[in-house]
Structure 1
């Protein structure tokens, strides 16, 4: 486990990481960034095509891709942190990077929840709430999500809980947590994880129930829809569940001398949460029918372009 060093006043502790322990995280995050940037750029393009077709769902997909892409680009600073072992970019950049981290967390899971609700309205109430599924409504909801998430982060993320200037550490677990951070972690667990998860479970359950009761839907199509909804729900639980559980546990830990067991699982949970940037475009592009069609169109385009180049050379 990582070493623990007590602070000057023996009231806080922080981790000292060797380069060998940092290296696996460095390679993992590097692989995430290299893969996520082009996939989310493509995801952004595909979702924009949905918006051009006046599809309200495309607005949620576009904002989801935008959130993942901006976070992935900004996340490159953490590679430098892992490489050096210290944060050299100052407190303002540290706090800003943590803003990006939590903004991506909660815009992503709320937008996934909106996508599930949009599908619920389309399948269970196809003619009743059509105004809620228009592009204008989806755009207003998306703007409200960004404003609420950014406002919540401004209130809950503080310099004291994020940056340790003496040891040049950024977001690297200072214990014991402050009362402000403890309240923020509880709020994040309830509002940022439990509520979206319950709404997604409800939406998926009603969609599956409606599909099964619809005699016109073929059995193969029912299985495909059920599998798709299950994968999206498991993705949310897998990416955001561990980090929120660890944040909640951090609020009850008081003695920093007994925290050696806590640090490494916490850092692993953060690493798992970053998989969300890769999961969103992959789930859409390779599991949904529309996503597969878009991928096939792009592949066909490059095949035709490559063939024309070859013919020109010949």
Structure 2
């Protein structure tokens, strides 16, 4: 029954990826614009959001390629390799940036009178650059360990069954790109909530806003990546020892790869539509656009008055 369920989901690939692309691309473009405007005003969190939006956009632009492939069209090994490398780098970079945001909020709430230099725009920019470099280097090392840029074989030319060397790389990815970030974000969330509950200077409404934002951040990350990481963990443990697990886990693996796209859809919603500063920036931009069109319409009416 479970295998049949995943097989049906696998057949819905083109429609699912298309929906994710339609929502994710404009959402992350909006997120990037709003974060950029807030960053120019000195908001250090916006620096991380700019980089997170870029990371999500890079992943989003690979979706049309996966749609074409899901329809049964061969896209070529070179292009598939490139898209898969972008996808996996997005996993690593996105996880690192979410950790940075969690740690930044942890220091701001738990130690408000200390670490001012960490919460500056310049520091956030340097940390973001370091995250990109570190995550890309780690990914290159993993690919080199596999022998070449063969990360795409899981999606393009899947190795069946997974070799022991691939299993080692998969376990490393699960640990570095999921378990460590989840531990960091959970720790920060717990400490922040405990500090907010003990604080008498922060109003109840502010507590709810901060708690809701952090809860959604952690929930979106876990919901998006937990199914994929669990299947990868099962593959790494079971496939090298028992070939019969290969076909059982193939459809769940391909389906859970698609669920990771949820994160690129949810990030702009969480950070742009729930964050008060972002909502204010969106409203301001909307008013500017409305005034521009009203002014243009007024000019057109004055040039062509009704007779």
Same fold (TM over 0.5): yes
Please state how far the C-alpha of 1:218 moved relative to its aligned partner.
1.7
Structure-1 residue corresponding to 2:95: 109
> 2:55 corresponds to which residue?
67
TM-score, length-scaled by structure 1: 0.85
Give the 3 Å change call, closer, same or farther, for CA 160–103 of structure 1 in structure 2: closer
C-alpha separation in 1, matches of 2:91 and 2:24: 15
C-alpha change, 1:187 and 1:170, in structure 2 (3 Å) is closer
The 5 A counterparts of 1:1-314 are 23-83=11-71, 85-90=72-77, 92-157=78-143, 158=146, 159=148, 161-162=150-151, 170-171=155-156, 173-254=158-239, 255-314=242-301
CA RMSD after TM alignment: 2.5
Which structure 1 residue ranges, 5 or more long, are not aligned? 4-17
CA–CA distance in structure 2, aligned partners of residues 155 and 28 of structure 1: 32
Cα displacement (A) at 1:256: 3.3
- Aligned pairs, how many? 294
User: Normalising by structure 2, what TM-score?
Assistant: 0.87
Q: How far did 1:228 drift?
A: 1.4
Question: Closer, same or farther in 2 for the Cα pair 1:181/1:258, shift >3 Å?
Answer: closer
Contact kept, 8 Å, 2:81 with 2:150, in 1: the verdict is no
**Residue pair 1:103, 1:149 contacting (<8 A) in 2 also:** yes
Q: What is the CA–CA distance in structure 2 between the aligned matches of 1:2 and 1:173, rounded to whole Å?
A: 21
Structure 2, unmatched stretches of 5+, are 302-307
Deviation per residue, 1:60-116 (Å, 9 max, x gap): 111101111122113321121112x253322x3222211111111111111011001
Deviation at 1:206, TM superposition (A): 1.4
Secondary structure at the residue paired with 1:251?
helix
More helix by share: 2
Distance in 2, Cα, partners of 1:252 & 1:132: 40
Shift of 1:191: 1.6
Q: Is this contact kept in 2: 1:94–1:162, CA < 8 A?
A: no
Residues 193-233 of structure 1, C-alpha deviation per residue, up to 9 Å, x if partnerless? 11111111111111112222221222222122212111111
Cα distance in 2 for residues equivalent to 1:211 and 1:301: 37
Counterparts in 2 of 1:238 and 1:163: CA distance versus 1, 3 Å: closer
Q: Distance in 2 between matches of 1:224 and 1:277?
A: 22
CA–CA separation in structure 2 for the residues paired with 1:93 and 1:234: 33
Distance 1:114 1:21, change over 3 A: closer
